[in-house]
């Protein structure tokens, strides 16, 4: 039975992945600051064959990686897959950015994957199929005005994946990045709020996506399951782009 720790799974891609793992009978621990979202996830998971445990946790806090790992190990006896999906997208004109906004973005988007992996490695070493998955973004390859911290940190996640894949590969731990394109989740709300005409901006974005639409969280969940599965035992240090062709054209 696969034992999964998801950091950032109350809504969106993280929640969809949690439900997909549970459908396969996995034991899943989800940590997130969104208590209401976690309660909704628990309701959705009630009839799944797997087992779900949740904990409200501010993942921007320096102590959160160790707490999340300790909670998961206590709850499920170990970790086979670490999925770091938590993210923060803040949008503002350059003159309105503050040091606090910048530092919190780094804490959630870049420091959390680093130190959560560090905390989980002793337990991943004991797994016969250890996998680490970080949610980066096609924003790590492209840029939009008003989101310097988001794009900088998501590009940083790609570099972090490469370094950790090299270091952890000899002990069999795979480390990969999932790069979603435009996916319909509440995560994007701050971007839309920053636009003068959100509907027109969305129309322009979707006209540049070969599939002419946003993706859904459920359409990303299968990629997470693949990267965590034995089918991906020789896949590490790579970027799996799931974006409807957005970065292909």
> What CATH number corresponds to the domain at position 234?
3.40.50.720
pLDDT at 138: 97
At what angle are helices 12-23 and 218-228 packed, to 10 degrees? 60
145: left (phi over 0), alpha (psi -120 to 50) or beta: beta
Structurally, the chain folds into a number of domains equal to 1
What integer is the mean pLDDT of 224-235? 98
47 in Cβ contact with 22 (< 8 Å): no
pLDDT digits (tens, 9 = 90+) for 4-23: 999 999 999 999 999 999 99
Alpha carbon distances (Å) from 151 to 22, 65, 87, 90, 105: 31, 23, 11, 10, 10
Residue 249 belongs to some domain of the structure: no
pLDDT at 228: 98
pLDDT at 187 over 90: no
What integer is the mean pLDDT of 182-209? 89
Catalytic residue among 150, 226, 234, 246: 150
pLDDT at 110: 98
pLDDT at 128 over 90: yes
Owning domain of residue 152: 3-242
pLDDT at 63: 97
pLDDT at 229: 98
pLDDT at 186 over 90: no
Maximal CA-CA distance, the chain: 51
Residue 248 belongs to some domain of the structure: no
What's the rounded Cα separation, in Å, for the pair 205 and 191?
12
Residue 51 belongs to some domain of the structure: yes
Residue 232 belongs to some domain of the structure: yes
pLDDT digits (tens, 9 = 90+) for 38-48: 999 999 999 99
pLDDT at 104: 97
Confidence class of residue 248 from pLDDT cuts 50, 70 and 90?
very high
pLDDT at 57 over 90: yes
Chain centroid offset of residue 71 CA: 19
User: Which residue's entry shows tokens 């350059």?
Assistant: 94
Q: Is 106 helix (H, G, I), strand (E, B) or coil?
A: helix
Residue 182 belongs to some domain of the structure: yes
Confidence class of residue 192 from pLDDT cuts 50, 70 and 90?
confident
pLDDT at 70 over 90: yes
What integer is the mean pLDDT of 104-132? 98
168 in Cβ contact with 121 (< 8 Å): yes
Q: What are the backbone dihedrals phi and psi of residue 3, each rounded to the nearest 5 degrees, phi first?
A: -110, 120
Across the beta sheet with 3-7, the strand order is 51-56, 27-32, 3-7, 81-84, 131-135, 174-180, 239-242
What's the rounded Cα separation, in Å, for the pair 184 and 201?
14
pLDDT above 90 coverage of the chain, percent: 94
β-pairing, 131-135 vs 81-84, is: parallel
By mean pLDDT, which of 92-96, 149-153, 191-195 is the weakest?
191-195
Residue 104 belongs to some domain of the structure: yes
pLDDT at 117 over 90: yes
Examine the residue annotation and report whether 150 is marked as an active-site residue of this protein: yes
Q: pTM to 2 decimals? A: 0.96
Q: What's the chain's average pLDDT?
A: 96
Residue 247 belongs to some domain of the structure: no
Tokens coding 142: 């492209």
Residue 165 belongs to some domain of the structure: yes
């Amino acid at each position: 039975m696969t034992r999964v720790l998801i950091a950032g799974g109350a809504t969106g891609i993280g929640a969809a992945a949690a439900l997909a793992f549970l459908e396969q009978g996995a034991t899943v621990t989800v940590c997130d600051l969104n208590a209401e979202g976690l309660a909704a996830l628990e309701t959705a998971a009630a009839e799944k064959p797997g087992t779900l445990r949740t904990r409200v946790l501010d993942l921007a806090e320096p102590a959160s990686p160790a707490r999340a790992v300790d909670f998961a190990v206590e709850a499920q006896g170990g970790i086979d897959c670490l999925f770091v999906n938590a993210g923060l997208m803040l949008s503002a004109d350059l003159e309105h950015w503050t040091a606090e906004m910048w530092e919190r973005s780094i804490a959630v988007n870049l420091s959390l994957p680093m130190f959560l992996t560090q905390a989980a490695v002793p337990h991943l070493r004991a797994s016969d199929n250890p996998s680490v998955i970080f949610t980066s973004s096609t924003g790590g390859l492209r840029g939009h005005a008003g989101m310097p911290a988001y794009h900088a940190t998501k590009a940083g996640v790609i570099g972090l994946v490469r370094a950790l894949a090299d270091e952890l590969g000899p002990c069999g731990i795979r480390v990969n990045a999932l790069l979603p394109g435009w996916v319909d989740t509440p995560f994007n709300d701050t971007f839309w709020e920053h636009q003068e005409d959100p509907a027109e901006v969305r129309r322009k974005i979707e006209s540049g996506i070969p599939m002419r639409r946003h993706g859904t969280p459920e359409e990303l969940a299968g990629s997470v399951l693949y990267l965590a599965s034995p089918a991906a035992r020789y896949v590490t240090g790579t970027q799996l782009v799931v974006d409807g062709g957005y970065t292909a054209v």
